Amino acid sequence: MVSIWSFATLTLLALGNSRSVAATGTVNHTLCPPDSAPANWTSSSLTPIHIGSTDVFFFDNPRSHDLLLVFPDVYGMDSGRSKENCAKLSALYNVAFVDLATDYLVDFDLPRLVAWLESHPFESLLPKIQQVISHFKTKRRVDKVAAVGYCWGAWVVAKYSSTPRTELSAGISFHPSWTAEEAFHGPGSGAAIANNITVPQLILTAGNDEEWIQPRGQVDQTLRARHVPARLREFQNVTHGWMNRGNLTDSAVALAFHQALYDETLPFLHSYLH
């Protein structure tokens, strides 16, 4: 059963600053702000490998001794360019696109969203992440590990970056929905994740993401005060979801995508991986 507290929290989460719920009661864009890039499912012939009970789409780079974990958005493994982006990153690193949830959301109302979030607490995801890392350290002898997450997956990156004895060397959040934390710990808890992060962070936000996760916002200030290496950049001219779901025929989206990948992500990873 969905708790009243969680329902109220997610209502505020969905509304944000004057954010609206459709007349049908459906929350537009789920954890995403209004006017975000829409869901964009794609298909591929790729077949996952199985690591324990977890499916992983593995993009091999036999020249690399590093592993880049990638966590999906709320729309799942076939969301937009997620796999295509993994292929690009595999030019430099071993990339493991991890199917953390298996049951992603398509059409849903607010109670269903709340129930979905509550059925996937980070504590249930952590063993999968640890098992994937252990597998590649044993089988592929990878050395350093970093993680990338889109939207909900960025919340996973942040949570694992704040976990004692995390094996991450760096974490990257694309248009992050750290607000998922509020389903478990109430208002303000998303920003509070930064209180325990110990891993260097690259946080790339859209113009319509929450103010507290933008440059000079609460997360930025917290990480600076705690001397955690971090770079935050806002891409004001694009909306939440641009990195894996945005329309690349739009020149603003194409430019932001290129800058986020080549000017930010790759140099950041180069700093903390081999």
Domain residue ranges in the chain:
4-14+46-272
Evaluate if pTM is beyond 0.85. Answer: yes
Residue type, 125: L
Tell me the three state secondary structure of residue 18.
Answer: coil
| Cβ atoms within 10 Å of 7's Cβ, excluding its own | 15
In whole angstroms, what is the distance from residue 239 CA to residue 220 CA?
20
| C-alpha closest to that of 99 among 86, 89, 109, 115 | 86
In this prediction, residue 17 carries a pLDDT of 34
Mean pLDDT of 67-83: 93
In this prediction, residue 28 carries a pLDDT of 31
In this prediction, residue 108 carries a pLDDT of 59
What confidence category does residue 200 fall into, taking pLDDT thresholds of 50, 70 and 90? very high
Residue type, 192: A
> Above pLDDT 70, what percent of the chain?
88
For 129-166, letters b (16+ CB in 10 Å) and e give bbebbebbeeebebebbbbbbbbbbbbbbbbbbbbeeb
Going by the DSSP 8-state scheme, the letter that residue 41 receives in this structure is: B
Residues in the chain: 274
Tell me, which fold does domain 4-14+46-272 have in CATH? Rossmann fold (3.40.50)
Condensed to tens digits (0 to 9), the pLDDT of residues 93-112 reads 999 999 999 888 876 567 77
Condensed to tens digits (0 to 9), the pLDDT of residues 5-32 reads 343 344 434 433 323 222 223 333 347 7
In whole angstroms, what is the distance from residue 99 CA to residue 170 CA?
20
The pLDDT of residue 143 is above 50 = yes
In this prediction, residue 44 carries a pLDDT of 83
The pLDDT of residue 215 is above 80 = yes
